A and B are shown apart, each in its own frame.
Chain A
Amino acid sequence: MDLLSTALPALGEAFSLIFHPEQIMFLMLGVLLGLSVGVFPGLGGIAGLSMVLPFIYGMDPVSGLALMVGLVAVIPTSDTFASVLMGIPGSSASQATVLDGFPLAKKGEAARALSAAFAASLFGGLLGALILTFFILIARPLVLAFGLPEMLMITLLGLSMVAILAGRVALKGVAAAGLGLMVGTIGEAAAAGSLRMATYDIPYLIDGLKLVIVGLGIFAVPEIVALLRQDRPISRSGGLGAGWLDGVRDWASNLFLSFRCAIIGVIVGVIPGLGGSVVDWIAYGHTVQSTKDKRRFGSGDIRGVIGPESSNNAKEGGGLVPTLIFGIPGSGSMAVFIGGLALLGYDAGPQMIQSNLDLTYTIVWSLALANVFGAGLCIAFSTGIARLTTIRFSLLGPFLFMLISFAAFQSGQSLGDLVALFVIGLLGIFLRRFDWSRPAFLIGFVLSHQAENFSNMAHQVAGAKFRVSLESGFSYIASPIVLGILALTVLSVVIGIRQAKQILPEGEVPTGRKRAPFVFLLCVTGYLMIAWIDAMQIRMMSDKIFPVTVSSITLICCLLLLIRMMRAPETDIIFTDRAADTEDINAAHSLWGTLAWFAGLLVLSSLIGFVLALPLFLVSFLRIRAGLNWPRVLILSAAGIGFMIAMAGWLHRDFPPGLLQELVRLPWPLGDA
């Protein structure tokens, strides 16, 4: 084999390049940076890499690569902390980990969940690197085989995961996904730029809502608010629980599952344009589908942690394939990675593999090594970090509000980010309360843009092919890959619908009175009606067809739900209402009171800016709500603000400015720099 004879020496060369003490040091530095950024909720590879870019220039290429790869590779490992311990997705790659990881932490099995996650991450990362080694040589035809119809089918396969995550009332799941798709269409359409549910008078909406904000709003805000109402530690048992070894054992006994999910991760990562935010959901869906006993998913099944965590590290290996071979980033962080490569004097693309194969393999080796270091460090630090779950939540909550507000602001650097976070958070709270599938909503949102774009574009290209000849048209839209994925999609929907009733992605929820779920459904229906009317007024067919179709289907679901609600008795599962839960009824604080604190922080920020609002918020929260004594209040507040400012200074980030900053120019960090 010609390929092998060129690859082996390059692999050896790369091995000797990376195993210099200096390179290892840079790799470790990258790993440490990645760990600290990954633990921070909402910040992922993009923020981390952007932070080191200014220092990359002029570095020796192998060191620079080691630094960047180390950083990228450990983020899917370290973001597990936030997902498991706080119920906040640490980055978009570990959203699905929250579903089972967080309930495990609540049960006092955080250690078990974490160690299983790290073992799975390590395995996934290594497998990803291994596959990448061979893939680099043969991947080109494979990536070229994925045209628009194939991408569209993969997107639909992703959407079909909604079926299994929909919960007990399938229609509600579909409606939630439909709502997610519709929220995803807000803003300027990609095809011809028509505005949907937006106006030029509110520039914020034109760009649409960002994934960070929707992810934090849908998952983090409802959890933080719910925990604050209880006012006790996340882990009820008070300890981390035993189980470091249990977790590893759990992973070992699910080795085959971990293997399959890692393969899924690599494949999804290889396909450019799909984005890393889908991979954990596909892996989670697969995990649930392929498991016999599904009852415990959503309330703390360790397999629900192993699946996504195996896939999201493997994804980084896969994502490097299109990045290195075509110069086309497989994800946002890979886009920054390409920028970093350019600073080192290399251009990602076909010629990089041909003429710099040793350097390419340096990347592969760094990836594998970084995964080992990352998993090791995570395990070493985790006892300390995991102690967070034993802290009374009133002491943690205000700092989490601080973190997510800051993270949300980074996505668009506008006050609109904070407003959007609050509104989406409110929606998340209600979705959670009435047991509408939040994962389904998020999958819909994540895939909305791709589903619309790929269907429009594939339709257009297919039209051109059909005009050439019937045969070329059919061979374009019905390629073996398309048919294969189609079969998978159908299978996944069938299995999903059959088995969804056994799975409670959000745990058991009781039913309550009729009125509240009914009013919420009416609100959703109302929004969809308005969105439908808005979409009907668009002149450009390419921008109109998708929102009209999706909102029509979702409206039909809503109408069917309304009819069922009118007929069903109060005890029907359609009236699920978490407010009727004993835990909710006995909560120490009211929902609106807790939410008002968060709203207070945001309103204050809009008036006097985030940094000035923080001390007021933290001090009053810790004093009034948490009832701490003054010395502790002051020490904690100062520590929190200090951390925030240090972090932002290090990342060169600004804080949300308020009205005050509009009027008076203040030095950083009080105003912008």
Chain B
Amino acid sequence: MKRFKMAACHAAAGLVAACLGVAGLSATASAAGGLDLSGKTVEFVIPFSEKGGSAKWANFYAPLLSEALPGNPTVVVKYMPGAGSTKGANWFQQQKYEDGTVIFGSSGSTQFPYLLGDPRVKYEYGDWNVVLVSGTGGVAYLPPDIAKKFDGDADDLKDINFIWGSQGATRLDLVPMLAWEMLGMKVEAVFGIESRGNGRLMFERGEANIDYQTSAAYLKSVVPLVEQGKAVPMMSWGALDGEGNIVRDPTFPDMPTFKEVCEATKGCSTSGDAWEAWKAFFIAGFPAQKMIFLPNGAPDEAIATYTKAIDDILARPDFPKLSEARLGIYPQMTGKQAKVALKLGTDVPDGPKAYVKTWLKERFGVELKK
């Protein structure tokens, strides 16, 4: 059973990648009759507060959706923060499709508790209808003095006491933390920072000596530091290719990926439980990070209407320019590709899940149970 799932996973990964190149071109939806939203208000609910990346992402899409949806409804972003985003997701689980005026934006922070079996999770991704998947990437970076010891493998970094600011072991930060551990680096996490931006400030102040940022934040805030010689990129987490393999991130083609560094480092292996676990959570946290859903029971015509609207947005001539500044250059997937990405990001085999749970418990004493 487990093997079967893994095989499906790989095949699916291929499909995702197949769409990477054509994301902008796909204007597939032809059946967009039926749903007319004129005079209505669409509520784009996100399970987060006004701060942070999801709010930025939702506010980027809201006005574009308003223009692209039939009838040009008002699209308002509604914030429903609480319980690490599980509150909003639980609320959405209870919604039944009515007239297409409720959509939900989920993020990696919503997927991780779901994957880790958090007792607060009462939602099921399989019940929802995905209409958009937005991916991202991430980059780890070092201070210049330590970066001198890094030559493509982490062999010379094993004696350094690393320290970094983290938002929490069960958050997106799990992915870099696990990666550094696999490289045999001794990294102590200082938990409790409120945003990744604060983690970067700790790095800038010399309180932390390693950090990572997601792509948009890296481009915006770390690249200037790199130019001033205050930071050196170490590796990117990579992106997925046609075979479901991790390859160089198209946004950062000159940086080695974690996979390359792992292969070059003694004691780090790109097969086995640890690797599969890292890869599963990496996909959930980065290439399939943010998604828009219609609620349970949405009819095909509603899904088609939304898919067409989003395809129209993606096909706008000014979309690359608009999105590059705010979202980074990453695939925005709709239709079949979005479904495949959803499956990859939420349907993780039991083996890797169990591995991560054990690791969280042994390494940080974190247990998710009632």
Contacts and interface: CB of A to CB of B under 8 A. Distances in A.
A464 B204 contact: no
A328 B195 contact: yes
A193 B80 contact: no
B50 A345 contact: no
Interface string B60-94: 10110000000000111111101110010000000
Contact of B161 (A326, A329, A412, A468): A468
A8 interface: no
Interface string B158-170: 0001010100111
Interface in B177-203: 188, 190-195, 197-198, 201-202
Contact of A273 (B41, B163, B190, B198): B198
Nearest to B219: A347
A453 to B, nearest CB: 4
A203 B87 contact: yes
Contact of A190 (B52, B191, B206): B191
A148 B207 contact: yes
Nearest to A673: B43
A464 B161 contact: yes
A350 B221 contact: yes
A327 interface: yes
Interface string A45-60: 0100110011001100
Interface string B106-128: 00000000000001100000000
Interface residues of B, number: 57
A342 B366 contact: no
B188 A464 contact: yes
A382 interface: no
A468 B161 CA distance: 9
A113 interface: no
A570 to B, nearest CB: 47
B355 to A, nearest CB: 20
A207 B83 contact: yes
B188 A460 contact: yes
A289 interface: no
Contacts of B84: 188
Given A200-B119, A343-B60, A457 B193 contact: yes
A49 B325 CA distance: 22
Contacts of A540: 365
B370 interface: yes
Nearest to B119: A200
Interface in A429-476: 453, 456-457, 460-461, 464, 467-468, 476
A624 interface: no
A206 interface: yes
A200 B120 contact: yes
B359 interface: no
B224 interface: yes
A191 interface: yes
SS class, residues of chain A in contact with chain B: helix
Nearest to A462: B207
Contacts of B82: 203, 207, 412, 414
B18 interface: no
Interface string B296-326: 0000000000000000000000000000011
Given A193-B366, A200-B120, A349-B220, A467 B198 contact: no
Nearest to B364: A192
B50 A335 contact: yes
A193 B191 CA distance: 10
Nearest to B122: A203
A539 interface: yes
A467 B159 CA distance: 13
A144 B41 CA distance: 44
B204 A144 contact: yes
A366 interface: no
Contacts of B198: 272-273, 328
Contacts of A145: 205
Interface string B333-370: 00000000000000000000000000000001110001
A193 B83 contact: no
Contact of A457 (B74, B120, B170, B190): B190
Contacts of B75: 54
B161 A54 contact: no
Nearest to A146: B205
A351 interface: yes
B79 A50 contact: yes
Nearest to B223: A351
Contacts of B205: 144-147
Contacts of A510: none
B59 A339 contact: yes
Contact of B221 (A349, A460, A539): A349
A188 B192 CA distance: 11
A192 B207 contact: no
Nearest to B50: A336
A453 B191 CA distance: 8
A329 B120 CA distance: 29
The residue in B60, B82, B168 that gathers the most chain A C-beta atoms within 10 A of its C-beta is B82
Contact of A347 (B59, B190, B191, B220): B220
A412 B82 CA distance: 7
Contact of B190 (A57, A339, A460): A460
A464 B163 contact: yes
Contacts of A460: 163, 188, 190
Given A203-B120, A456-B192, A351 B224 contact: yes
B56 interface: yes
A325 B51 CA distance: 17
Interface string B17-55: 000000000000000000000000101000001111001
Q: Which 4 A-B pairs have the closest CB atoms?
A: A57-B63, A335-B51, A190-B192, A453-B192
30 contacts: A49-B50, A54-B62, A54-B75, A54-B76, A58-B63, A143-B201, A145-B205, A147-B206, A147-B207, A188-B84, A190-B192, A191-B191, A203-B83, A207-B82, A328-B195, A328-B197, A329-B51, A335-B49, A342-B326, A350-B221, A412-B82, A414-B82, A456-B190, A460-B190, A461-B190, A464-B161, A464-B163, A652-B41, A652-B76, A673-B41
Given A50-B79, A53-B59, 11 more contacts: A54-B75, A57-B62, A190-B168, A193-B366, A273-B198, A326-B197, A326-B201, A339-B55, A350-B221, A351-B224, A673-B41
